[in-house]
Amino acid sequence: MVSSVYIRPLLALLVIAAIAGITVVVLRSGPRESEPLRSASQQLPQNIDVALKKARFQEIQDGLVVWELVAESVNYDKGEDRANLSNIRMEFQRNRSHGAVTVTADNGEFSSEAKIVRLNGHVHVITEDGASFKTDSIVYTGATAKFSTADPVIFRQQRLQLNAVGMDLNIKNQKSHFLSLVDASIISK
pLDDT tens, position by position, 125-184: 999 988 999 999 999 999 999 999 999 999 999 889 999 999 999 998 889 999 999 888
Whole-number Å distance between alpha carbons of 148 and 170: 9
CATH number for 49-186 (one of 3.90.550.10, 3.30.2130.10, 2.60.450.10, 2.60.40.10): it is 2.60.450.10
Distance, in Å, from the CA atom of 1 to the CA atom of 38, rounded to the nearest integer, reads 60
Model confidence, pTM: 0.71
pLDDT, tens only, 55-89 = 888 888 888 888 999 999 888 777 777 888 999 99
pLDDT the model gives residue 126: 94
Can you tell me whether residue 113 is helix, strand or coil?
coil
Is 121 in contact with 136 (CB distance < 8 Å)?
yes
pLDDT, averaged across the chain: 82
Burial of 139: CB neighbours in 10 Å, binned 0-12, 13-18, 19+: middle
Tell me the CA distances in angstroms from 18 to 8, 22, 23, 27, 181, one per residue in order.
15, 6, 9, 14, 87
Using CB atoms within 10 Å of the CB of residue 109, give its burial: 0 to 12 exposed, 13 to 18 middle, 19+ buried. middle
Count Cβ atoms within 10 A of the Cβ of residue 3 and give its class: 0-12 exposed, 13-18 middle, 19 or more buried: exposed
